[in-house]
Chain A
Amino acid sequence: MLEVSDFLVRAYGIEIRVDELVVRGKTALLGRNGSGKTTFVKAVVGILRNERGRVIVDGVDVTDLPTERRPIAYLPQERVVLPFRPAEQLRYFARLHGTDFRWVVENLGLDGLLAKSGLSGGERQLLNIATALLKGPKVLILDEPTQALDFPNKVMVLRTLRRLDVPTVFVTHDPLEAYYLCDELVVMESGRIKGPVRNEMREWAEEALENTLKLYTDMIGVEV
């Protein structure tokens, strides 16, 4: 569980004030461009310094820990392409964290990915999510992980994320994705968080997503 309280961060010309955010399952952090979503999560991860407030993970205060020592895995907004083949990347980070990468591959169903060399945008994101999980995080923070992905790739990533059982902050400005994936939704506007509200649109989102995907399958033969 992630708890952020009495939080203040000033960066990139914006001031973020969050009285309280508690993440137990999957929480969507929605908001318009420039509302402060990325600045907020970067401060929670420890990349930016908060001026006030605490970040608590499973009851442990991690506010003063550097990014690398926080039990939080973070996937930034930018497309990250590490210079490894898929299996090599997982092996490298598994060794770094003294773990085995096979459980991640099995849990996320990534067997087909390991032997590939040229990954699609969606496959690249799945590989990075799998890599992030090797840290054994207690919280996962994903900053617009489906940004710039085409629809089938987006669905592939979202379906995989639904299988994860790690408290997750999912930053997005796409309500459909938020409805499909998350249990709760919060909205950030001008550095302030509103919410949370329970997601009661999941069935609608599932139907909308699957129907759209069916269109792809029928019209251009794309299978996800």
Chain B
Amino acid sequence: MERFQLYVVVVILGYFAILTVPAVLRYPLAFTEEFSEALVNTVVLSTISTLITLPLALVLAQGSLRSPGRTLAPLVTATVSVPHTAIGVLLAPLVFGAGLVDTPAAIVIAMTIVSLPIGFTALRSALVSLGTGYFEFLAGMGVTGWRVIPIAIRSIRSAVVISAILSWFRAFSELGAVLILARRPTTIGVYIFENFLAWGAAPVVGGSVALLALAVAVGFLIERLTGVARGK
């Protein structure tokens, strides 16, 4: 192994060790029944959110390749750079007004708003990589607007899968907006946050490590899908 590659390995493992080792050494890896319930809630609501996000992201990504969609694209991605508590505050009048506080619907709305930019960006990059000629050829052949989408989906299959995975995980990991709009049913982020405030880190380290392990597995899956790990 070259010295530079050794350096990279040390930094990556060091990064991960800082995140996990002190917590694992200090606290027991225990799981509670409430944790499992919160996990199930979050999985179900994230899945519903992704089912809404993905088609929306596809349509927006396709529409954003040409004006006026191209000009308006920053409106979709802007929420990435805003603290998600601010997103929660901005959604509050809608959610409160519709009587959706502390409902699954409020959580799905929050999850969808924050995951849409992620799904959109992944799909848009993939569509751009097809090249303008791809769409010009289709246009010349009479395939425009909505009709492009089923063909383009087939061309960017792995990006669609990645977009779905990233959107799902973004929804799954959402805390800020959910905290403001709906603490019940309890999602995993809210569960960890509330338990930490009440009891400290001990009861939630086990769950947090499990979530991280899941995220790592997905990270490797995405690497495999994109071909980065194989040097493509």
Chain A positions near chain B (C-beta within 8 angstroms):
42, 45, 47, 66-69, 72-84, 93, 96-97, 128, 131-132, 134-135
Residue of A47, A67, A73, A83 near B155 (CB, 8 A) is A83
Chain A residue at minimal CB-CB distance from B156: A83
Chain B positions near chain A (C-beta within 8 angstroms):
131-134, 136-144, 151, 154-155, 157
A72 touches B142 (CB 8 A): no
Shortest Cβ distance from B71 into chain A, in angstroms? 17
A75 touches B137 (CB 8 A): yes
Residue of A42, A97, A131 near B136 (CB, 8 A) is A42
A96 touches B136 (CB 8 A): no
Q: A82-B151, A83-B151, A83-B155 are in contact. Are A67 and B139 (CB under 8 A)?
A: yes
Q: Which residues of A contact B133 (CB under 8 A)?
A: 76-80
Q: A78-B131, A82-B151 are in contact. Are A47 and B136 (CB under 8 A)?
A: yes
Q: A78-B134, A82-B151, A83-B155 are in contact. Are A47 and B142 (CB under 8 A)?
A: no
Q: Which residues of A contact B139 (CB under 8 A)?
A: 47, 67-68
Q: A82-B151, A83-B151 are in contact. Are A76 and B137 (CB under 8 A)?
A: yes
Shortest Cβ distance from B159 into chain A, in angstroms? 12
**Complex-state Cα separation, A75 to B136, whole angstroms:** 8
10 closest Cβ pairs, A-B complex? A78-B133, A76-B133, A83-B154, A74-B140, A68-B142, A83-B155, A78-B131, A80-B137, A67-B139, A76-B136
B142 touches A96 (CB 8 A): yes
**Complex-state Cα separation, A82 to B144, whole angstroms:** 14
Shortest Cβ distance from B142 into chain A, in angstroms? 4
**Complex-state Cα separation, A76 to B130, whole angstroms:** 13
**Complex-state Cα separation, A132 to B137, whole angstroms:** 8
Shortest Cβ distance from A166 into chain B, in angstroms? 14
Q: A83-B151, A83-B154, A83-B155 are in contact. Are A132 and B140 (CB under 8 A)?
A: yes
Q: Which residues of A contact B151 (CB under 8 A)?
A: 82-83
Q: Which residues of A contact B136 (CB under 8 A)?
A: 42, 45, 47, 67, 74, 76
Q: A79-B133, A80-B134, A83-B155 are in contact. Are A97 and B142 (CB under 8 A)?
A: yes
**Complex-state Cα separation, A54 to B141, whole angstroms:** 21
**Complex-state Cα separation, A47 to B139, whole angstroms:** 9
List 28 interface pairs A-B (beta carbons < 8 Å), by A numbering: A42-B136, A45-B140, A47-B139, A66-B144, A68-B141, A68-B142, A73-B140, A74-B140, A76-B132, A78-B132, A78-B134, A79-B133, A80-B131, A81-B134, A81-B155, A82-B134, A82-B138, A82-B155, A83-B151, A83-B157, A93-B141, A96-B141, A96-B142, A97-B142, A128-B137, A132-B137, A132-B141, A134-B141
**Complex-state Cα separation, A42 to B137, whole angstroms:** 11
A72 touches B131 (CB 8 A): no
Q: A78-B133, A78-B134 are in contact. Are A68 and B144 (CB under 8 A)?
A: yes
Q: A82-B155, A83-B154, A83-B155 are in contact. Are A74 and B137 (CB under 8 A)?
A: yes
**Complex-state Cα separation, A45 to B136, whole angstroms:** 10
Q: Which residues of B contact A42 (CB under 8 A)?
A: 136
13 further A-B contacts with Cβ under 8 Å, apart from A83-B155, A97-B142, are A47-B136, A67-B140, A68-B143, A73-B141, A76-B137, A79-B131, A80-B133, A82-B137, A82-B138, A83-B154, A96-B141, A128-B137, A132-B140
Q: Which residues of A contact B143 (CB under 8 A)?
A: 68, 96
Q: Which residues of A contact B131 (CB under 8 A)?
A: 78-80
Shortest Cβ distance from A85 into chain B, in angstroms? 11
A131 touches B134 (CB 8 A): no
Q: Which residues of B contact A80 (CB under 8 A)?
A: 131, 133-134, 137
Shortest Cβ distance from A88 into chain B, in angstroms? 10
Q: Which residues of B contact A135 (CB under 8 A)?
A: 140-142
**Complex-state Cα separation, A134 to B136, whole angstroms:** 16
Q: Which residues of B contact A47 (CB under 8 A)?
A: 136, 139
Chain A residue at minimal CB-CB distance from B144: A68
